[in-house]
Amino acid sequence: MSKGLILVTGAGGFIGGHLVADLLKKGHRVRAVDHKPLDQWWQKFPQVESWSANLELLEECHKAVKGVSHVYNLAADMGGMGFIEQNKALCMLSVLINTHMLMAAKDAGVERFFYSSSACVYAAGKQTDPNVIALKEEDAYPAMPEDGYGWEKLFSERMCRHFTEDYGLQTRVARYHNVYGPQGTWKGGREKAPAAVCRKVAQAKISGDHRIEIWGDGLQTRSFQFIDDCVYGTQALMQSDIREPLNVGSSELVTINQLVDMAEEIAGIKLKRSYKLDAPKGVNGRNSDNSKILKLLGWEPSTRLFDGLTKTYAWIYDQIVTDAPCPSY
């Protein structure tokens, strides 16, 4: 890792906030940038140079990368499945952020550039069965990603590749699989499944109304990666010589019903379930094949879902009890 200044974009968000915290613990100098006003950031640090900027604008990207050696580009307009299925154009506009960040990084002579992609780049035809075969990196082609959000991510991956080939900018790309944990959005429409389930279960426990609504039939399958593993894998990939996109996700496959089972066990209650079959639910099955990350890094995300969900539930329960504010993303 460079001893120079490190830029984290999307630093006011969930993953960005945790990444900044970890970089600080390791003694790095960090600049943190996000579009949200500072009072809406999930985590803020007095020793960090932090500011709000719209990185869809090229001139703002040039300001952000000035004097920077490494860039972690996590900035995007996104959320859980309910958000990305209903805001396809908005999600695709995030391509402006990565386009302008790459241009600015090239012009500034940045040493390395990390891009946070997503498992939504994978071809839909390989995710039709809940008993899904875990997705290998090559399964992104022939291309048929998640409409809107997935296309933006896949296009930006290719742009990173060509900035390396054509301009020599060293890029690294991680395909995140469903990252969850404390200090992230848990209500408001942008939250992801683990946070939504923890919130619903906690509200049921607090209110005494022991009912829960589940989007879809509950049989769809996913893997969920705890934030600590995500932060570790992100930095390990950045420091490596791996130039192709790499899965960074857990391989522990569960149904949404099983996710609810875990949250109920953690809360010590049992809820009556209803299923909203017309709600956005995404693909029927998605899991991370970790063969390549194990081969190239000798590591894979290993936090058990139950353990990570226990920490996430406790944090969300406290937010509800204290009526804490929840930034949108």
Active site residues: 149
Contact at 8 Å (CB) between 245 and 175?
A: yes
